[in-house]
Structure 1
Amino acid sequence: MYLRPFDPWKNPLCTCPFKYTLNVYTGCDHACVYCYITSYIPNAFRVRTKEGLLPKLERELRKFDGRHIVALSYSSDPYPTIEKKLRITRKVLELFRRYDVRCLLLTKSDIFERDLDVLSELRCAVGVTVTTVDKEKAKLLEPNAPLPERRISALKKAYRMGIPVYARIDPIIPYYTWGDFDDTLEALSFVSHITVSTLKLRPDSKKRMFAKFPELMERLWPLYERGERIGGYYYLPKELRFKILREAEKKITGKGITFGSCREGYRSFPSCDGSHLVPP
């Protein structure tokens, strides 16, 4: 089965409403330093296709309950570099159009701009993740992802076409991206919903962060040592997390944008993931 109920490792802090998820590719070549998929996908930064995806997916869609949302994608970005040539995600979206599937699209790429003609005919909401609008920081954190300004420009085009749009500011990193939050929020002020999440580390991503940002981690890691271990992740101390989240919420809602948080044990309204934007 390629369509699977979304279950983020039964994390006790996940508040996602029921939905299905589909990862068009295996692996993601954005190679974000903080990425968690390396803990469960072998060779996670090498993109692979899935054998027989399109015919198998179509068979599944013939029996699919159209009331449910399918999210693209939470483990492997639906728009890796190779999608420019292979166009598999576009073909998936064309199947969604044929079977009237409700879709929640999330990416860290601008390639989706190519597919706005299809997306505009779907019951969908489109979102991008922007960790920071600082180009230099973004390039260090997300070495192979398109620059944030390109993602935001593509999302603005979706917005102008009348497609519901949302964003994730994720992860928020104290001493690093948190200082850019106001600028990042301002650049995304046209969206309807923003989900935020603080940096959560697993042993593999912790090792990469120390290798890439030794000075930052010398300041940051003592905070995590005082924090919590939840679902295999190192979390910032709850008091600090909630202080950041309260400030983020105030700034986001102050712009008339609805607020969500991801796996934080904090509030969200009207949904944590932006799924409320998908037309019924």
Structure 2
Amino acid sequence: MSIKQANPLSQPITFQAPVAPRKGRGATNNMQGRYEVEQRENFDDGWAVEAEQDDSPAPLRTIVTEEQAKSILNRNASPDLPFRVSLNPYRGCEHGCIYCYARPTHSYLGLSPGLDFESRIFAKVNAPQLLLRELAKPSYVAEPIALGVNTDAYQPCERELGLTRKILQVLHDCDHPVALITKSSLIERDIDLLASMARKRQVLAAVTLTTLDPVIARTLEPRAAAPARRLRTIKTLAEAGIPVSVSVAPLIPFVTEPDLERVIEAAAEAGAVLANYVVLRLPWEVEPLFQQWLDAHFPDRAKRVMNRVREMRGGAAYDADFATRMRGEGIWADLLRQRFEKALIRCGLAQRGGSFARLDATRFRRPYVPSEREKSSGQLGLF
């Protein structure tokens, strides 16, 4: 691997970095983000095989850093998303899904979208207070909030920090609609709040189920719940009266794509009522990270997978156009759409798209948050 330095007078530094998979991690290395001054490039110096035989990558410890966020609600105008407002309690995600489109956001922090993204987690510890303050504004208009769409709101550190639970409590107390998406069984902890909100049509829970193959899932999403455990979570939520959607995402040609129909059938049997799918997206640094993962785990089909991905993206590894970024284009993308729609009809499921609009925001009760002046004086305001 060579480093290209910004100073043209300096000589490139050459060294060997481990590329073997790490147990419990998705990325194989800590590639530099696109904003870094130094850029690294892999090359074969003839020592890789011996190095891999002599040394295995050391275990990587997760570091969770608490931070005080300045704002908490994100708004978008993307026509291909069913929600306009989202909330993410965490930056980075320990689940380590190699395909995660949020990986490039760690570049803004001067960290790597690779191993740093899944081992350097930032927790917005003031998220519940910021949300309460936002809901209390006279100008705030209630509409469904998508919780944990960028990084999983139920990732492992949530067990100790409980930020998602506190956020749900705020939304529950204000009768505010919310939609959640997760790969974790930890969502079952909050069934008491979710079931109460479901009775008022104020919640939708989505569980991502990429494949039914536990071996593939272990390398693709190393610290997320196993497929069988996610199916049990769908069943548990559904039995509690909570509407559940299954997100078959991403569809990776020749890796998870063959499981499409079986995933939908299994989710329907478990109690899911809605479904959605997304074709593999590889923005920015996700492309080289995913290709490294393919080379490490599926060397026999790596070229074939990437050729099919490019076929659905107009010849490129990724196309950010709103019209095609979620589903792709071309004959193969159309075939996936037909397979998905036929599977829904056969299993009696509906597409998730319009479900956000059915969440009830009319019951919203604006919370009262005393001003700093009222807090210091100990006197409540009239208005």
1:123-169 CA-to-partner distances (Å, cap 9, x unmatched) read 10111001001101111110111112212212211111111111100
SS in structure 1 at match of 2:348: coil
Look up the match of 2:235. Answer: 156
1:201-249 CA-to-partner distances (Å, cap 9, x unmatched) read 2242222222222223211112234432422879855221111111111
Contact 2:72/2:87 (<8 A) preserved: yes
The 5 A counterparts of 1:208-227 are 208-214=289-295, 215=299, 216-226=301-311, 227=313
Query: Which piece of structure 1 moves more, 152-161 or 206-215?
Result: 206-215
Distance 1:193 1:277 in 2: 13
Aligned residue type for 2:225: P
Look up the match of 1:199. Answer: 280
Sequence identity percentage: 27
Look up the match of 1:4. Answer: 74
Please say if 1:128 is aligned against 2:221. no
SS in structure 1 at match of 2:117: coil
Would the alpha carbon gap of residues 95 and 235 (structure 1) be closer, same or farther in structure 2, given more than 3 Å must change? closer
Look up the match of 2:165. Answer: 90
Would the alpha carbon gap of residues 173 and 68 (structure 1) be closer, same or farther in structure 2, given more than 3 Å must change? same
TM-score (norm. length: structure 1): 0.86
Contact 1:23/1:75 (<8 A) preserved: yes
Query: Which piece of structure 1 moves more, 146-155 or 217-226?
Result: 217-226
Distance 1:161 1:124 in 2: 12
Count of aligned pairs: 264
2:181 to 77, 89, 106: 106
Look up the match of 1:60. Answer: 134
Aligned residue type for 2:226: L
Q: If you compute each CA radius of gyration, which structure gives the higher value, 1 or 2?
A: 2
CA apart distance, 1:23: 0.3
Contact 1:224/1:237 (<8 A) preserved: no
RMSD, aligned CA: 2.2
Please say if 1:28 is aligned against 2:93. yes
The higher relative CO (CA closer than 8 Å, separation ≥ 6) is in 1
1:155-214 CA-to-partner distances (Å, cap 9, x unmatched) read 211111111111100011111111122221121012111001111222422222222222
CA apart distance, 1:278: 2.9
1:231 to 320, 325, 339: 320
Contact 1:164/1:277 (<8 A) preserved: no
Would the alpha carbon gap of residues 133 and 18 (structure 1) be closer, same or farther in structure 2, given more than 3 Å must change? closer
1:145 to 212, 219, 224: 224
Look up the match of 1:171. Answer: 250
The 5 A counterparts of 1:250-269 are 250-260=342-352
Aligned residue type for 1:72: L
Please say if 1:71 is aligned against 2:151. no
Distance 1:222 1:18 in 2: 32
Contact 1:224/1:235 (<8 A) preserved: no
Look up the match of 1:39. Answer: 104
Distance 1:18 1:113 in 2: 23
Contact 1:130/1:184 (<8 A) preserved: yes
Query: Which piece of structure 1 moves more, 28-37 or 55-64?
Result: 55-64
Would the alpha carbon gap of residues 101 and 236 (structure 1) be closer, same or farther in structure 2, given more than 3 Å must change? closer
Would the alpha carbon gap of residues 90 and 235 (structure 1) be closer, same or farther in structure 2, given more than 3 Å must change? closer
